[in-house]
Amino acid sequence: MRAVLVLVAIDTEARALARHLGLPSASAPRAGSGPLQMACVGLRACRLSAVEAPPGTLVVSAGVCGALAPQLAAGALVVPETVLAAGATRYATVEVSGLTRRGALVSVADVLEDGAAKARLWLETGALAVDMESATILAWAAARGLPATVVRGVADTAARGVPADLAGVVADDGRVRPMRAVTAALARPGAVADALALRRGTVVALKSVAAALARLAHAPAGR
């Protein structure tokens, strides 16, 4: 079996994926001792410089994403052929047995707060979905000569964004700050409903990602 390093932005996502995959606790910075390992790299992959990977390791940018294409429902799996970054930079993902790649994903620096912002980005890029880490992770892998791919699940559909107050609940290091969540819930009517909807989408998204990672971990090492 090949070595697979799964890089996830948010601590709670890493914990959920570890649980689904039967890995030891992913409370950070790293979980797993066999061929499949996981590391939490924070928002925008800001903690990526602390990660090490031996030659030949397959690097996977995993976790949730936001849909840009209207047809993508919560829980849909996004395995792009191409990741778009700022400045029109493009990164190709590698083909892996057990996963079907399609379309593009775009990485941005900040969350998209509503459907209108998502619609504009979709028209500008044609990408199926958006996240904040994959371009950085693929650039990091390319600089080290490591193959890399992206496995993301849709947590919020094209019609919904992530309000800034809810996005602020997660610190840059990828850890959830409970007091920020309480403050957001008390400060804005509708924040609780938005949080519950995002949580439901995240749960189904991570189940899809975990199933794909399980297939990937057992794929032949040559692809």
**How far apart, in whole angstroms, are the C-alpha atoms of residue 212 and residue 215?**
5
Domains of the chain: 4-217 (3.40.50.1580)
Q: Distance between CA 38 and CA 23 in Å, rounded? A: 9
Q: Which residues of the chain have pLDDT under 70?
A: 1, 25-34, 219-223
Q: What is the rounded radius of gyration, in angstroms, for the C-alpha atoms of the chain? A: 16
pLDDT, tens digit, 9 for 90 and up, residues 96-154:
988 999 999 999 999 999 999 999 999 999 999 999 999 999 999 999 999 999 999 99
Q: Cα separation of 45 and 173, whole Å?
A: 9
| pLDDT at position 28 | 45
The reported pLDDT for the residue numbered 2 is 78
- Please tell me the distance from the alpha carbon of residue 87 to that of residue 220, in angstroms, as a whole number: 35
> pTM for this structure?
0.91
